[in-house]
Amino acid sequence: MYEVRFHGRGGQGARMAAEALADAAFLEGNYAMAFPFFGAERRGAPVVAFTRVDKQKIRIRTQIYEPDYVVVLDDKLVDLINITEGLKKGGMAIINSAKKPEDIDLGKKVSTATIDATGISLDVLGVPITNSAILGAFAKATGLLDIDSIKKGIVDMFSMRMDKKLAEKNARAAAIAYDKTIVGTCKAQRTFEKRKMWLPTYKEMPLGLATPPMKTEAGLVGPGSFIENKTGSWRTFKPILDHEKCIMCLFCWFYCPEGCIERVGNTTLKINYDYCKGCGICANECPKNAIEMVRE
Amino acid sequence: MKIKDLSLEELFTSGHTACPGCGGAIVARIAMKVFGKNTCAYFPANCLLVFGGTYPYNAFKVPYLHVLFENSAVCAAGISRALKKLGRDAKTVAFAGDGGTADIGMQSLSGAAERNEDIIYICYDNEAYMNTGIQRSGSTPFGAWTTTTPVGKKIAGKEVFKKDVPRIMMAHDVPYVATASIGYPNDFLNKLEKARDMKGFRYLHVFAPCPTGWRYDPAKTVEIGKLAVECGMWTLYECENGVFRITKKPKLSPVTDYIKLQGRFRHMTEEQVDTLQGWVTEKWEKISGETKG
Amino acid sequence: MKRVITGNYAAAYGAYLTRVDFVAAYPITPQTLIVEHISEFVNDGLLDAEYMRVESEHSAMSACVAASATGARTYTATASQGLALMHEVLFIPPVLHLPIVMPVVNRTVAAPIGIWCEQNDTMPQRDTGWLQVYCEDNQEVVDMVIQSCMIGEHKKVLLPSMVMLDAFILSHTVEPVDFPEIEEVDKFLPKYKPEHAYLDPKRPMVLGSFTPPEYIQEARYQTEESMNNARKVITDVTKEFGKTFGRDYGGLIEKYRCEDAEVILITTGTVTSTARLVVDQYRDKGKKVGLIKLRFFRPFPLQEIKELGEQVEAVGVYDRSMSFGTAGPTYIETRYALYGYSIPILNFLAGLGGRDVTIKDISFMFDRLLEAKKGKIKNEIVWIGTRGVEP
């Protein structure tokens, strides 16, 4: 049996990739299952999905804690999350990145494959949706499946949610990725702090979960505590404000869904990149074109 | 009130987990600025419940309650009555979505309006059940794709028209009913302010585009909020103590200007577009007739 | 002050005596008199409460949850279909720990539609986390509304309570009830001042937010712990109430002539009252029978019932509702409590849909138990008076 954990962001199609991989493995005579972590994550938030493949019927229904492979759809996640957490000895990371494996720092030396899935998907599909190209890289790097099965799996699963022609284009992206995948070993220079979580006993937990603002070992909880959730990491495009052009009309400040444009006195605006998700409303609404969206 | 007069304090803080470009998040943030600290807020099951707070974290800095989906109006009324009895001087506001308002919450909403409960009810309308993954609601417009009105070989998009909830609320003769759009800040602020300062049942229906469900570039949320008003798909008016007033006269530009930006309308045939345009024209005639009458 | 009044009046008067802050209710037969009396109390200025005449029971319970979460002492009443319509909302207050008090007039749930007594409205709500107490007479109804405030608002409990009265048999029957003076009740029952959950801009709190699996199981355990804490609190409160007002109901159960009983019958509601008579008649004939009045169904008196296993030779359980495919709910739980005792345990179903449960029916139950004691059991689940069914 082998187990795969996919890391992506809400809307990037990690779940569909996991499903297409399961279908591909099934087409080769295996038993396979794929499932998301059932959360309520919004578009842009980090998410995970899983695939499990075996020669016989799979009975285990738990989440996957020690995967054989991790697949990362968005290389920015590598900086946020310890994606090798729980990765089995001898396991492998397959990462969407234009970099070479040895230029990627996963905090732990592991066998790593990279593919510029974003570039391929922009070429083939016209959008940076990488969930098909990354599967081509998976097939190449692991040697577990034939690329033709991956292509069929993609067409099978993707055409349930989109036009068949688009599904076939996705299969083509996988085939291109298959040929361009580089396998090597990543570097291990940084360390990841273990994410802290507030896990009170039932007695420590406020009765009925009625929670006032409180400080816990894992930070603030209760009213207003989301302020510690730095959503800036979701961003692909970044707004740059040209102060010369700004006339302080405050439309950007008003419209920002994140409330991350700060008013400094009556004369200046400042974008708080800790929270900016890069939606681009500010740039779109600025009457003086003082805000430009640039790729991170 | 003008934009520059708005409070700097964020009672709906950064760090919430709405999709980038969320129209609902804009509604919540601005409404809380106008209502201020001295407000208790009720949330039914909706996107805002989830992206505004996942235990133990929360973006709202005011007293916060969720009970269920279909009872926003009566729960807000329960809070409001109890505050009164306990001698706590605070406002109560409910933030419901269009599904929780036009569909499953209609009974409780109508009851609370009939009793003239002292609450502000905000419906942020993104025209489908977005929290559960874009299923059609009574508020979904004609022709729109949703996951339950898919573009099939035989039938494509929603076959019936959008339910006009604000008019239903007007029929209750409550002190204040208004429609707004995040695309018109001053109009929106005026209406929030009026709703804040009045007593009794106040209903505010705010057009809140959803990039995820409507399939457009998140940067266009406000632009779409403007275009909807310009073409007449959404009309800005208020009814204050029985006096009806259109607050923004539409240009009545063709609906195609509005729908062409959105993936949810992409499949529509010329005939469907004509039907939608006909609905807009007829609706506008009805509304403008009302001001004359 | 003794007055001859209905069970519904007793239930409504309980709202007055406990000076509830908030009432939201919707009329349904046979509970209507409760909402009518409360309307009179409020309109006459006797009861100073916010009274919301809502458009459905779903809204009634929703409003009560919101008002209780805000910090008010909260009351409603319903029956049958109304309780079924509330079902979705009933799960909320036990977890948020909101001590709402709700008299429920036990009425049959459709189909077929009927208005008479059956417990198939409240029994299906047994897993929602509400305390449930079944009353025998109108005096107990008013006394239990008062005690339910005291028990439910206790810091170690903070759970909502249902106070049950049988349709018509209590709800519409007048009999003398000794009402305590409101000043006495004031002394007995402190004002409700919640510290755990309330809505006040002076101290904002998040209540009922969307919660991931990391916290829900602990929240469930909090409710379970409160339910278990309630056992002692109930016993303490009944004692204290007894001392103050002269009526001690004896905790979760009341034993009637059980001292040397060889067989006992367990009953809820008004059947208990008639069964006392039957016990007396059998005792007069020298037959060693006893009666357990099951007052609280939630929390279920597991320990008290278990102790019977040591003493008696056969146990009968009367149920006024059926859990189809198994047995009556009280029977199921009694057998659970008596696990390990190899004594015959019989279930008697009678009075469904409001059919009268007569002295003859109850005598039949004792006769069958006395037979069972000798090892002669025909059926474990006995449908009494059902045409075409051999009991």
Question: What pLDDT shows up at residue C379?
Answer: 80
Query: Which residue among C199, C214, C245 closes a domain?
Result: C245
CATH code at position A157: 3.40.920.10
The yes-or-no verdict on residue C32 having pLDDT over 60 is yes
Cβ pair C59:B114 closer than 8 A: no
Query: Could you tell me if C221 lies within 8 Å of chain A, comparing CB atoms?
Result: yes
Which tops the pLDDT comparison, A235 or B219? B219
* Phi, psi (degrees; rounded to nearest 5) at C242: -60, -45
Chain A residues whose CB is inside 8 A of the C215 CB are 205, 209
Residue A273 lies in a domain: yes
The pLDDT confidence band at residue A203, using thresholds 50, 70 and 90, is very high
Strand-pairing partners, residue B246, are B237
What is the domain extent for residue B55? Answer: 3-292
Q: What is the mean pLDDT of residues C2-20?
A: 98
The yes-or-no verdict on residue C118 having pLDDT over 70 is yes
CA distance A196 to chain C (A): 13
Residue C388 lies in a domain: no
Domains contained in chain B, number = 1
Cα within 13 Å of Cα(A143), Cβ side: 2
Q: Do A154 and A275 belong together in one domain?
A: no
Cβ pair B77:C89 closer than 8 A: no
- Nearest-by-Cβ selection for A205 from C203, C209, C218: C218
For C248, the 3-state DSSP assignment is coil
Residue A100 lies in a domain: yes
Q: Do A22 and A132 belong together in one domain?
A: yes
Query: Which residue among A127, A150, A185 closes a domain?
Result: A185
Burial of C355 by CB count in 10 Å (0-12 exposed, 13-18 middle, 19+ buried)?
middle
> B interface mutation test: which of A221, A277, A282 has the most B CBs within 10 A?
A277
Chain B residues whose CB is inside 8 A of the C71 CB are 82, 86
Question: What pLDDT shows up at residue A46?
Answer: 85
Kindly give the confidence (pLDDT) of every residue in chain B, 293 residues in length, as a single tens digit, with 9 standing for 90 and above.
899 999 999 999 999 999 999 999 999 999 999 999 999 999 999 999 999 999 999 999 999 999 999 999 999 999 999 999 999 999 999 999 999 999 999 999 999 999 999 999 999 999 999 999 999 999 999 999 999 999 999 999 999 999 999 999 999 999 999 999 999 999 999 999 999 999 999 999 999 999 999 999 999 999 999 999 999 999 999 999 999 999 999 999 999 999 999 999 999 999 999 999 999 999 999 888 876 54
Strand-pairing partners, residue B176, are B202, B240
Chain C residues whose CB is inside 8 A of the B81 CB are 22, 50, 52, 63, 67
Question: What pLDDT shows up at residue B292?
Answer: 58
- Render pLDDT for A103-134 as a digit per residue (tens, 0 to 9): 999 999 999 999 999 999 999 999 888 999 99
Q: Cα Rg for chain A, rounded, in angstroms?
A: 22
> B interface mutation test: which of A42, A263, A291, A293 has the most B CBs within 10 A?
A42
Nearest CA in chain C to B63: C204
- Nearest-by-Cβ selection for A254 from B14, B30, B223: B30
Question: What pLDDT shows up at residue A202?
Answer: 98
Chain B residues whose CB is inside 8 A of the C67 CB are 78-79, 81-82
- Render pLDDT for C157-176 as a digit per residue (tens, 0 to 9): 999 999 999 999 999 999 99
Residue C305 lies in a domain: yes
Domains contained in chain C, number = 2
Residue A201 lies in a domain: no
Cβ pair B111:C56 closer than 8 A: yes
**Mean pLDDT, all residues of chain C:** 97
Instruction: Note whether A173 and A133 are within 8 A (CB).
Output: yes
Nearest CA in chain C to A208: C96
Give the position of tokens 């495009």.
A237
Cβ pair B57:A226 closer than 8 A: yes
Cβ pair A281:B29 closer than 8 A: no
Residue A206 lies in a domain: no
Question: What pLDDT shows up at residue A39?
Answer: 66
Question: What pLDDT shows up at residue B56?
Answer: 96
- Nearest-by-Cβ selection for B51 from A11, A42, A230: A42
Cβ pair B86:C62 closer than 8 A: no
Instruction: Note whether C299 and C231 are within 8 A (CB).
Output: yes
Alpha-helix runs per DSSP H in chain C: 7-17, 32-43, 57-70, 80-90, 92-96, 138-152, 182-188, 213-245, 271-284, 302-311, 329-337, 359-373
Question: What pLDDT shows up at residue A40?
Answer: 62
Residue A221 lies in a domain: no
Distance CA A21, CA A33 (A): 9
Considering only residues 9 to 38 of chain A, which have any Cβ-Cβ distance to chain C shorter than 8 Å? none
CATH code at position A290: 3.30.70.20
What is the domain extent for residue A139? Answer: 2-185
> C interface mutation test: which of A197, A209, A211, A214 has the most C CBs within 10 A?
A209
Q: How far is CA C237 from CA B115, C230, C268, C290, C293, in A?
A: 39, 10, 20, 25, 18
Residue A261 lies in a domain: yes
Which tops the pLDDT comparison, C173 or A75? C173
Chain A residues whose CB is inside 8 A of the C198 CB are 210
Chain C residues whose CB is inside 8 A of the A209 CB are 95-96, 206-209, 211, 215, 219
Residue A226 lies in a domain: no
The yes-or-no verdict on residue A192 having pLDDT over 90 is no
**Mean pLDDT, all residues of chain A:** 93
Q: What is the mean pLDDT of residues C123-133?
A: 98
Query: Could you tell me if C44 lies within 8 Å of chain A, comparing CB atoms?
Result: no
Burial of A203 by CB count in 10 Å (0-12 exposed, 13-18 middle, 19+ buried)?
exposed
> A interface mutation test: which of B14, B126, B147 has the most A CBs within 10 A?
B14
* Nearest residue to C236 (alpha-carbon basis) of C307, C302, C156: C156
Query: Which residue among C214, C245, C276 closes a domain?
Result: C245
Q: How far is CA A3 from CA A73, A140, B235, C175, in A?
A: 17, 17, 53, 72
Residue C389 lies in a domain: no
The pLDDT confidence band at residue A79, using thresholds 50, 70 and 90, is confident
Domains contained in chain A, number = 2
Q: Do C296 and C215 belong together in one domain?
A: no
Nearest CA in chain C to B43: C209
Tally of CB atoms within 10 A around B137 = 25
What is the domain extent for residue C184? Answer: 2-245
| Share of residues in chain C with pLDDT > 90 (%) | 97
- Render pLDDT for A2-38 as a digit per residue (tens, 0 to 9): 999 999 988 788 999 999 999 999 999 999 999 988 7
Q: Which chains touch B (3 or more CB pairs under 8 A)?
A: A, C
- Render pLDDT for A138-173 as a digit per residue (tens, 0 to 9): 999 999 999 999 999 999 999 988 888 999 999 999
CATH code at position C311: 3.40.50.920
> A interface mutation test: which of C158, C202, C205 has the most A CBs within 10 A?
C205
Distance CA A240, CA A67 (A): 40
What the block records as the tokens of B142 is 């004609």
Residue A26 lies in a domain: yes
Q: Which chains touch A (3 or more CB pairs under 8 A)?
A: B, C
Cβ pair A260:B14 closer than 8 A: yes
Query: Which residue among C218, C245, C272 closes a domain?
Result: C245
Question: What pLDDT shows up at residue C236?
Answer: 98
Q: What is the mean pLDDT of residues A65-70?
A: 97
CATH code at position B206: 3.40.50.970
Contacts of C321 (CB under 8 A, 6+ apart): C118, C119, C120, C123, C124, C328, C329, C352
CATH code at position C212: 3.40.50.970
Query: Which residue among A125, A156, A185 closes a domain?
Result: A185
One DSSP character per residue, B274-288 reads: HHHHHHHHHHHHHHH
Nearest CA in chain A to B20: A279
Q: Do A166 and A272 belong together in one domain?
A: no
A17-A20-A24 Cα angle (round to 5): 135
Q: Do C188 and C288 belong together in one domain?
A: no
